[in-house]
Amino acid sequence: MASTDTTGTAPGASVEDGLGGLEAGLDALEVQAASRPPFRQTLFHKILPPVVAVAVVLAVWQALISLRIVDDPTKLPSPADVGGEFRDAWLKGELLGYIWTSVSRGLLGFLFALALGTPLGLLVARVKAVRAAIGPVLSGLQSLPSVAWVPPAVIWLGLNNSMMYAVILLGAVPSIANGLVSGIDQVPPLFLRAGRTMGATGLRGAWHIVMPAALPGYLAGLKQGWAFSWRSLMAAEIIASSPDLGIGLGALLENGRNASSMSMVFEAILLILFVGIAIDLLIFSPLERWVLRSRGLLVKG
Amino acid sequence: MATALAKAADAESVDHAARIEHVSKSFTGPAGRQLVLDDITLDVAPGEFVTLLGASGCGKSTLLNLVAGLDEPSAGSITTHGRPALMFQEHALFPWLTAGKNIELALKLRGVPKSDRRGRAEELLELVRLKGAHGKRVHELSGGMRQRVAMARALAQDSRLLLMDEPFAALDAITRDVLHDELTRIWQETGVSVLFVTHNVREAVRLAQRVVLLSSRPGRVAREWRVDIPQPRRIEDAPVAELSLEITEVLRGEIRRHGQH
């Protein structure tokens, strides 16, 4: 095949042009053009499956009622009853109030946790003595259910918003700090060496090399931190409901139980689930995907 | 571009780009104290291209780390002028930055003002024939392109000495040949001194003005060859092959000594 190919670079041709052209050819051969998948594919692979899953759950639920497999509405209300509960709350103008009471608390608490957990994580990762002292405690705290903090928080701070924030902090700070620590631990040593030969040492090294390299681990920590914040907050709202605190989603659930209204309990559970998923889908997942994609770490398939 | 890069060449006032004098290095491992480098003395002249050649365990990468200032010698001294630039076998580009921003970071850490960085990065990309790759992410580039960006980033440090630790070992043979040509061209254009570590004899002869063979365990300078074959050379050229054969024989002799107890 190659033997017939005699039209290569002629002896007189510029060596430079030959090399540049060869290189351009190699580059073109090895680089694959990345393109976004067409909408049809996104529809079938990403959007349709969860929609179908929700539809199946609703169908099974309705079937349980219609076929009278469960016919005690105090145990299992029908989808229509729960829907009615949502409509009433919406018409009374209370639905968004419930959500906002909890979400504003959750997000504010999460921001506090972020402000505390980040420097704490940096300290633990970079200072050996601090790591030896509180590293294991910090990992251990992650496995302590944050609901355990509700009783002492009520005793220390009383039934008020500070108590809620305290419980959120105790739940989320260890996750955020641990995420940053493992992110920093996983920075490839090669990056640190490359940075040092370029003069990035000390604080400059931390800012230009360590922090950006640790970002994926840090984001995973933030995501888990949010989940812990939200759970802790719901536990606190359920246990410590008081008229002064306003009605958040946890309190709504507790009110439903007290009123023996199963459809209100379902309404509250669905709202808690919905908010948790929505925050993850709207904030954390896009952030995580953007970071991973820009680094070529998102494997398609 | 020539004026911007000329700084590396105006090293006439100094008679060496790196001076390695009686350098020894030992590590304390599980098997006790182990001598890795033993009394190495080696100069790299300004603008000179030297390859360090040796089998596994000759400590060539250790020596490069010492010259780069990433580690301290146990004995002896190393002088360089300013901080040398270092290129690794892996490209070591930062994946959170684009190709251009990687180069700009090196410029920034060197203190180049913000207004000049973009233009300088474009010049360097053009030098490695990657014009227009400024906004490309690292994972969008091929292996050869990544090493060329890494080369541009190393050159951005504007150091008089470029240290290269088997930078082409992970590339396919076709790309490697092309990058040999590129490196020779860039070395000639910039006048930078190069200390290049490899275990590939032909690569060493293809590139260098001087080949230094290290023996293994501990690493000592075993022999040196001047390579007077005119550039541009090809790795298939008869004189390159001939000298490679001679050096390979000596290298094999060195390796054989380790099999005899």
- Write the pLDDT tens digit of every residue in A44-89: 888 888 889 999 999 999 998 888 888 787 888 888 888 888 898 8
Query: What is the 8-class DSSP label of residue A137?
Result: H
Does B80 lie in the same domain as B25? yes
* pLDDT > 50? residue A14: no
Domain of residue B133, residue span = 93-158
Residues sharing a CB contact under 8 Å with residue B74, sequence separation 6 or more, in sequence order: B24, B25, B26
CATH number of the domain residue B176 falls in = 3.40.50.300
- Chain-chain contact of A209 with B94 (C-beta, under 8 angstroms): yes
Average pLDDT score over residue span B24-47 = 87
Would you list the DSSP string of B163-202?
Answer: EEESTTTTS-HHHHHHHHHHHHHHHHHH--EEEEEES-HH
Is B148 found in the same domain as B33? no
**Which of A266, A241, A252, A250 lies closest to A74, judged by CA?**
A266
Whether B188 and B109 map to the same domain: the answer is no
How far is B230 from A259, CA to CA, in rounded Å? 95
Residue with tokens 């603008």: B47
Q: How far apart are CA A138 and CA A267, in angstroms?
A: 35
- Residue B83 contacts A, CB cutoff 8 Å: yes
Per-residue pLDDT at B36 exceeds 50: yes
- Residue B242 shares a structural domain with residue B185: yes
* Whole-angstrom distance, CA of residue B249 vs CA of residue A155: 83
User: What integer pLDDT is reported at residue B107 of this predicted model?
Assistant: 93
Return the structure tokens found at B251: 């290298």
Mutation for testing the B interface, residue in A32, A187, A198 having most B CBs under 10 Å: A198
B164, B74: one domain:
yes
Claim to verify: residue B72 and residue B187 sit in the same structural domain: yes
Same domain assignment for residues B178 and B247: yes
**A–B interface: beta-carbon pairs under 8 A:** 89
Same domain, B174 and B69: yes
Q: Write down the CATH number for the domain with range A81-294.
A: 1.10.3720.10
The pLDDT assigned to A195 comes to: 92
Looking at the fold, whether B119 and B26 belong to one and the same domain comes out as no
Round the average pLDDT of chain B to a whole number and report it.
87
How does pLDDT run across B128-138, given as a tens digit for each residue?
888 888 999 98
ipTM of the prediction: 0.84
Q: What secondary structure, in 3-state letters, does A138-191 show?
A: HHHHHCCCHHHHHHHHHHHHCCCHHHHHHHHHHHHHHHHHHHHHHHHHCCCHHH
SS3 label, residue A282: helix
Question: Is it the case that residue B149 has pLDDT exceeding 90?
Answer: yes
* Residue B23: its H or E element: strand B18-29
Minimal CA separation from A187 to chain B, in Å? 11
Identify which of A30, A209, A295 has the shortest CB distance to residue B139: A295
Q: What is the pTM of this model?
A: 0.77
- Note whether B203 and B183 are same-domain residues: yes
The residues, any chain, with a CB within 8 Å of residue A41's CB and separated by 6 or more, are none
**pLDDT confidence tier of residue A34, bands split at 50, 70 and 90:** low
Contact A209 B129 (CB under 8 A): no
Pairwise CA distance, residues A271 & B141, whole Å: 46
Mean pLDDT of A267-290: 90
Same domain, B66 and B107: no
Q: Which residue of A has its CA nearest to B150?
A: A194
Give one DSSP letter per residue of B99-122, joined into a string. HHHHHHHHHHHHT--HHHHHHHHH
Output the pLDDT for position B32. 81
Structure tokens at A199: 């003069």
Question: Per-residue pLDDT for A8 more than 70?
Answer: no
Residues of A in contact with B88 (CB under 8 A): 190, 193-194
* Interchain pair B182, A19: CB under 8 A: yes
Q: Do B145 and A208 touch (CB under 8 A)?
A: no
CB atoms within 10 A of CB A140: 10
Q: What is the pLDDT of residues B59-83, one digit of tens each?
A: 888 899 999 988 889 988 998 888 8
- Residues in chain A with CB shorter than 8 Å from the CB of B96 are 212-213, 215, 291, 294-295
What pLDDT is stored for residue A205 in this prediction?
Answer: 86
What average pLDDT score do residues B235-259 get?
A: 87
For chain B, what is the domain count? 2
Would you put residue B160 in left (φ > 0), alpha (ψ -120 to 50) or beta? alpha
Q: Is B194 on the interface with A (CB under 8 A)?
A: no
Q: Kindly state whether residues B140 and B163 are assigned to the same domain.
A: no
Closest-CA residue to A228 (of A175, A150, A286): A175
- Cβ–Cβ gap B145/A31 under 8 Å: yes
Question: B206 with B180: CB under 8 angstroms?
Answer: yes
pLDDT band at B121, cuts 50/70/90?
Answer: very high
- Among B158, B176, B192, the domain-final residue is B158
